Each structure stands twice: as C-alpha cells, then as structure tokens.
Amino acid sequence: MNTRFTFCMIKPDSFKKDCVSDILLEILKAGFKIRGIKITMLTKGKAEQFYDIHQGKEFFDRLTTFISSGPVMAMVLERANAVETLRELIGKTDPTQAAEGTIRKLYATNTTQNAIHASDSYENAEREWSFFFSKREIY
Ligand code: CMP
C-alpha cells in the first residue's frame, strides 16, 4: 500500500493529565508507524514560529502561551492516507464538537487545551516535522 508521512504533536495538557500513553496507543491501534519521536519544550518564540499561520488571530497569544507552558511530544507518523486518517482520529478542534471516540473527545479539555495537534496537509506536515526533526532523526 502507498504510505505517506504526517506530523503530530501531543500537547502540554496531555502530559498534565497523564494521558500521553493512552493517546499513543490510539495512534498505534489505528495502524500508524512511528518514524520520528521526541519530547521537548518550546519557548514562547518557538511556539510563535510553529503557529506562524495563526499570527494576528484572537487566540494566538493564548495558544502560544499554552504550547510553551510544558512538554510536547512531536512525532512523524507513517500510514496510508496519513494526514486524512490522523485528522479524523483526533477529531474537531473544539472537543464539544468532536465525534465520539476521537482523541479530542476523549482527552481534550477545551479548544486551547485540546490534547494533540495534527497537520492538515502533506505540505504543512513536512514544514512542521522539519521544525522538530533533522533528516537523520526520521527513520
Ligand atoms: P491545532 O490543531 O494545534 O492547530 C491550531 C490551534 O489553534 C488549534 O489546534 C487550537 O488549539 C487553536 N485554536 C483554533 N481555534 C481556536 C479558538 N477559536 N480559540 C482558541 N484556540 C484555537
């Protein structure tokens, strides 16, 4: 099968709630292979760079303050239809709107503290994993 790569980032609220391993399990159960993985902490400046496309939006400061408030787990994942499948698995941004059984429905608190980020296109996935990983860190 023709597999592709996507990127995701488990957010600080998941570390606080101690549900990182539960989220990882959901991702693995869905058939994704982990090709790169690291835990790190973003500075406010790095978070602003990562979420650059949201500059100027009402929630930008809230989002980047939250993302830089604790650890994140960045991952490069491989599967057929990787971007579309992972977006479906994580569910809508706002957990009250997310479908039953999705990661955000299960683990998110609100629109800011929403457990996990997943790339919305293959182009953005490459930009986003390059932010965290060198080529040598992706298998
Ligand atoms: P994420 O998938 O990481 O991509 C952009 C993030 O911006 C999104 O998840 C939310 O956490 C955040 N976001 C989007 N819309 C809003 C909003 N209306 N209020 C607060 N945060 C938002």
The yes or no reply on domain 3-137 and CATH 3.10.20.440 is: no
Ramachandran assignment for 115, one of left (phi > 0), alpha (psi -120 to 50 degrees), beta (any other): left
Ligand 1 center–CA 112 separation, angstroms: 6
Distances in Å between the Cα of 82 and the Cα atoms of 2, 49, 61, 94, 122 are: 10, 24, 29, 21, 9
Q: Could you say which of 117, 118, 129, 133 is catalytic?
A: 117
The residues with which 39 forms a beta bridge, in sequence order, are 73
Based on the residue annotation, tell me whether 54 is a catalytic residue of this protein. no
Domain boundaries, given as residue ranges, for the chain: 3-137
Regarding pTM above 0.75, the answer is yes
pLDDT per position as a tens digit, 75-120 = 999 999 999 999 999 999 999 999 999 999 999 999 999 999 999 9
Q: Read off the amino acid at residue 12.
A: P
Per-residue pLDDT tens digits for 6-38: 999 999 999 999 999 999 999 999 999 999 999
Write out residues with Cβ below 6 Å of ligand 1.
54, 59, 62-63, 93, 111-112, 114, 117
